[in-house]
Amino acid sequence: MKVLLIGVGGVGEAIAVVAHGRPWLEKMVLADYNLGRAMAVQKRIGNTDKFPVEQMDARDVSQIVQIARKYGVDLIMNAVSNFYNDTIFEAAYEAGCNYLDMAMSDYGENMGSHQWKQSAKWEDKGLLAILGNGMDPGVSDIFAKYASIELFDEIDEIGIRDGAALDVSGYEFAPAFSILDTIEECTDPPLVWEKERGWFTIPPFEKIEVFDFPEGIGPLEVVDIEHEEVVLIPRHIPCRRVTFKYGLGEKFIDVIKVIKMLGLHQKEPVNVKGVKVSPIEVVAACLPDPASLGDKMSGKTCVGAWVTGMKDGKPREVYIYQVTDNQESMRNYGCQAVSLQTATGPVIVMELLAEGIWKGSGVLGPEAFDPRPFLAKMPQYNFPYKIREEESQYSKSIDQINHIQP
């Protein structure tokens, strides 16, 4: 498979590092607006033929198409902010390439609307676009799909729960992921889906709950935020309710509230002494690059699907999750935990596509595919997952869960 990777920030770099050395990968073009950044990642990998570099403006459809055709790529991997989803998506179609991204554009129930509307066109051309292929969304959706076909007869609620116990030395406030995406998710009204009501929003930070995260992370305050799973999961997984709650913590919540109160979450440029600047990009520029924080971070990050429902006539409640430890992440890959956790899922999806295990056409989400081949490959990527539940009658099947065969 030949891949055009657009964006080699923290997650893009981790995608290249994880994919390096995999036999299914013939070439991965490292494209970024910052050519020096792309060259630094290439130097780190040490293979200029397999990982060529290109400077690219993700807003320029014609440039993306030109570079895709130059290398004859099969797949375009969008690893930049969702601000650029539509142009990269259009370029992939024009270039005749399959497409993956990790986050969706637009707001509320309209997330990804520009892309969903073009599904028939992609089908007619025999092309496949899979939206939301990071960790969450992405792996989280795959966990939910697995629960629906293997662990439950009926599902009441699928709740994605994301939390971490990560410390960043030397900084009062230093998000470990894209602050642009984080601010957008946390300042838009949280989205909930219910079978009887469809999609609806609730006020931000209205319902603060405590969720006990595994493997030493412990109880964290979690809040509803707008997130892609609430739009994606109901399309292919029968259930009664879908939610997303993020363990932000009191300090993070306070910072986001101030950013919104001051209008610093806005994308639209404002005039500052004759210069047009975007407030949200100013905030991002004032914070450290998440890719640079690995050696300053300690702790773990966890993402999982909390699912409730019925199995064999009895109530059941499980949490299917993946935990990444920053110390192990830095030791094994030289990438910080959040970046590595977000990057590994897309690389596994690339392998499934390259091997023809996942296939199709049109515009879909990851929950549209069989999750079992994905889960079977996770141990091969040093990316283990686990299932936690209270009911001992299922302990045997859970102990055997990492031995799933595709």
**Domain containing residue 168: CATH number:** 3.30.360.10
Flag whether 78 is in a domain: yes
CA 114 to the chain's CA centroid: 19
> Are 97 and 158 contained in the same domain?
no
Q: What is the DSSP letter of 279?
A: H
> Are 94 and 148 contained in the same domain?
no
C-alpha distance from residue 52 to each of 25, 59, 99, 101, 112 (Å): 13, 21, 19, 21, 30
The yes-or-no verdict on residue 126 having pLDDT over 90 is yes
* pLDDT tens digits along 218-275: 999 899 989 999 999 999 999 999 999 998 767 777 887 888 888 888 888 899 889 8
pLDDT, position 293: 66
What is the pLDDT confidence band of residue 19, given thresholds at 50, 70 and 90?
A: very high
> Are 319 and 253 contained in the same domain?
yes
Examine the fold and report which residue of 42, 76, 101 is the final residue of a domain before the chain moves on.
Answer: 101
Q: Rounded to the nearest 5 degrees, what angle is found at the Cα of 266, between the Cα atoms of 105 and 33?
A: 60
pLDDT, the chain, mean: 90
Q: Between residues 165 and 326, which one has the greater pLDDT?
A: 326
Contact 12, 79 (CB under 8 A): yes
Flag whether 278 is in a domain: yes
Q: Which helix (H) or strand (E) holds 146?
A: helix 139-146
What is the pLDDT confidence band of residue 176, given thresholds at 50, 70 and 90?
A: low
Contacts by 182-187, CB closer than 8 A, 24 or more apart: 182/256, 183/256, 183/259, 183/265, 183/280, 183/283, 184/82, 184/226, 184/265, 184/280, 185/225, 185/226, 185/227, 185/246, 186/225, 186/246, 186/248, 186/256, 187/256, 187/259, 187/260, 187/265
C-alpha distance from residue 108 to each of 154, 185, 226, 232 (Å): 26, 10, 7, 11
The yes-or-no verdict on residue 61 having pLDDT over 50 is yes
What is the CB-side half-sphere exposure of residue 92 using CA atoms within 13 A?
33
pTM exceeds 0.85, yes or no: yes
For 44, the 3-state DSSP assignment is helix
C-alpha distance from residue 368 to each of 76, 162, 172 (Å): 20, 22, 41
* Residue 266 burial (10 A CB sphere; 0-12, 13-18, 19+): middle
Q: What is the DSSP letter of 149?
A: I
Q: 350, 301, 305: which is closest to 329 by C-alpha?
A: 301
Flag whether 45 is in a domain: yes
25: left (phi over 0), alpha (psi -120 to 50) or beta: beta
The yes-or-no verdict on residue 312 having pLDDT over 90 is yes
**Residue 310's beta-bridge partner residues?**
154, 315
C-alpha distance from residue 162 to each of 213, 217, 221, 246, 322 (Å): 9, 11, 11, 5, 10
Contact 311, 317 (CB under 8 A): no
> Are 33 and 91 contained in the same domain?
yes
Q: 153, 166, 170, 145: which is closest to 305 by C-alpha?
A: 145
pLDDT, position 174: 65
Contact 346, 15 (CB under 8 A): yes
The yes-or-no verdict on residue 120 having pLDDT over 50 is yes
Flag whether 184 is in a domain: yes
pLDDT, position 387: 97
> Are 92 and 174 contained in the same domain?
no
**Of 150-154, 180-184, 298-302, which one has max mean pLDDT?**
150-154
119-133, 210-224, 286-300, 358-372: range with lowest mean pLDDT: 286-300
> Are 255 and 209 contained in the same domain?
yes
> Are 211 and 284 contained in the same domain?
yes
> Are 168 and 85 contained in the same domain?
no
> Are 83 and 144 contained in the same domain?
no
Full domain range(s) for residue 289? 139-340+372-403
> Are 234 and 282 contained in the same domain?
yes
> Are 167 and 316 contained in the same domain?
yes
Q: Which helix (H) or strand (E) holds 344?
A: helix 337-354
Question: Tokens 């497409």 — which residue?
Answer: 99
pLDDT, position 401: 43
Flag whether 365 is in a domain: no
CA 331 to the chain's CA centroid: 22
pLDDT, position 117: 96
Flag whether 350 is in a domain: no
> Are 68 and 17 contained in the same domain?
yes
Domain count, the chain: 2
Flag whether 346 is in a domain: no
Flag whether 47 is in a domain: yes
Q: What is the DSSP letter of 161?
A: E
CA 254 to the chain's CA centroid: 24
Domain holding 47: CATH number? 3.40.50.720
Tokens of 400: 């055997």
